Amino acid sequence: MKCPRPLPPRAFGLLLLFVLLAAALGLQGQPLNFGRVKDFMVPDYFDPPHENQLRSRLNGTEAQPLPGGRFLIKQIKLESFRLDGFCEFRVTAPECIYDHTRREASSAREVHLESGDGQLVVDGRGFLWQQTNSLVVISNDQRTIIRPPTSTGTHTHR
């Protein structure tokens, strides 16, 4: 599975600077009303000395700010990467709530997970993703397909 190129650290730094500036204005009593944000993205990088290497990325076609540092994100794509840049897994869903403070995303809607090598596919309803440890839990109606390394067949487990 080929994953798109990560956001360069400098671009992420500019985005972070904008967010900090907006927060500073908010602390001075200025109302902040961003409304909907198109092409929402939350990158996360490995700790030093690999701080330039992307660890995970949460994308959405649109995000709406909610109270408490949360966002309602539409058409999400969540990717987790190894240190060598290989995409470990990709999760897609119609929407989720991303809690920036807790660094978690969750949804009660349908969800699709596929491993980077395409050998594992899980479909279900409802998920929780913890960004701090790349844990994904699919909670309901799971359907798992495990494909062998060769194209000799597909095994399905429920």
Asked if 78 contacts 105 with a C-beta cutoff of 8 angstroms, the reply is yes
Which residue's entry shows tokens 């060598």?
84
Sketch the domain layout of the chain as residue ranges.
9-157
The predicted pLDDT at position 17 comes to 38
The predicted pLDDT at position 35 comes to 80
The predicted pLDDT at position 34 comes to 60
What distances in angstroms separate CA 103 from CA 45, 115, 133, 134, 156, one per listed residue?
A: 13, 22, 10, 10, 32
pTM as predicted:
0.72
The predicted pLDDT at position 18 comes to 47
Low-confidence ranges of the chain (pLDDT < 50): 10-32, 152-158
Q: Exposed, middle or buried: residue 83 (CB in 10 Å: 0-12, 13-18, 19+)?
A: exposed
What distances in angstroms separate CA 82 from CA 54, 87, 97, one per listed residue?
A: 8, 6, 25
What distances in angstroms separate CA 40 from CA 13, 23, 28, 120, 126, one per listed residue?
A: 15, 18, 26, 27, 21
Domain 9-157 has CATH 3.40.50.11810: no
